[in-house]
Amino acid sequence: MALTGIQIFKLLPKTNCKECGVPTCLAFAMNLASGKAELDACPYVSDEAREQLAEASAPPILPVQIGNGVRKLTVGGETVMYRHEKTFYNPTAIACKVSSDIKDKELKAKLAIWNAFQYERVGFNLRPELVAVEDAGDAKAFAKTAKTIAETSEFNLILMSDNIDAMKAAVEATSFKKPLIYAATEANVDDYGALAKDNDLPLAVKADSIDALIPLTEKLLGMGIKKLVIDSGSREIKQAFEDQVAIRRAALKAANRALGFPTIAFPCEMASNLGMETMIAAMFIAKYGAITVLSDFTTESLFPLLIERLNIFTDPQRPMTVTEGIYEIGTPDENSPVLITTNFALTYFIVSGEIEGSKVPSWLLIKDTEGLSVLTAWAAGKFAGDDVGMFVKKCGIADKVKNKELIIPGYAASIVGEIEEELPGWTITVGPREAPHLPAFLKAK
Chain residues in the site for ligand SF4 (CB under 6 A)? 12-13, 15-20, 25, 28, 42, 44
Pick 28 or 88: Cβ nearer ligand SF4: 28
Looking at the DSSP bridge assignments, the partners of residue 66 are 73
Least separation in angstroms between CB 59 and ligand SF4: 19
Exposure string over 99-115, b if 16+ CB within 10 A, otherwise e? ebebeeeebeebbeebb
Distance, in Å, from the CA atom of 379 to the CA atom of 360, rounded to the nearest integer, reads: 30
Least separation in angstroms between CB 29 and ligand SF4: 7
Strands 362-367 and 325-329: antiparallel
Phi first, then psi, for residue 89 (nearest 5°) are -95, -55
Least separation in angstroms between CB 21 and ligand SF4: 8
Spell out the SS3 assignment of 67-113.
CCHHHCEEECCCCCCCHHHCCCCCCCEEEEEEECCCCHHHHHHHHHH
Longest dimension (CA), the chain: 80
Least separation in angstroms between CB 6 and ligand SF4: 14
Least separation in angstroms between CB 55 and ligand SF4: 18
Distance, in Å, from the CA atom of 263 to the CA atom of 355, rounded to the nearest integer, reads: 43
Least separation in angstroms between CB 44 and ligand SF4: 5
Least separation in angstroms between CB 89 and ligand SF4: 24
Pick 48 or 211: Cβ nearer ligand SF4: 48
Least separation in angstroms between CB 429 and ligand SF4: 55
Cα angle value 303/262/116 (rounded, 5°): 25
Pick 21 or 436: Cβ nearer ligand SF4: 21
Pick 27 or 237: Cβ nearer ligand SF4: 27
Pick 17 or 307: Cβ nearer ligand SF4: 17
Pick 48 or 399: Cβ nearer ligand SF4: 48
Least separation in angstroms between CB 57 and ligand SF4: 12
Least separation in angstroms between CB 14 and ligand SF4: 7
Pick 58 or 212: Cβ nearer ligand SF4: 58
Least separation in angstroms between CB 172 and ligand SF4: 46
- Contact status, residue 299 vs residue 117, Cβ threshold 8 Å: yes
Pick 17 or 254: Cβ nearer ligand SF4: 17
- Contact status, residue 177 vs residue 68, Cβ threshold 8 Å: yes
Distance, in Å, from the CA atom of 363 to the CA atom of 398, rounded to the nearest integer, reads: 11
Give the three-class secondary structure for 280: helix
Closest CA to 88 of 101, 97, 77: 77
- Contact status, residue 355 vs residue 340, Cβ threshold 8 Å: no
Pick 45 or 408: Cβ nearer ligand SF4: 45
Pick 17 or 413: Cβ nearer ligand SF4: 17
Which residues 6+ apart lie within 8 Å of 404 measured at CB?
398, 425, 426, 427
- Contact status, residue 91 vs residue 290, Cβ threshold 8 Å: no
- Contact status, residue 307 vs residue 285, Cβ threshold 8 Å: no
Pick 20 or 395: Cβ nearer ligand SF4: 20
The DSSP string of 342-380 is E-BHHHHHHHHHHHHHHT--EEEEEE--TT--HHHHHHT
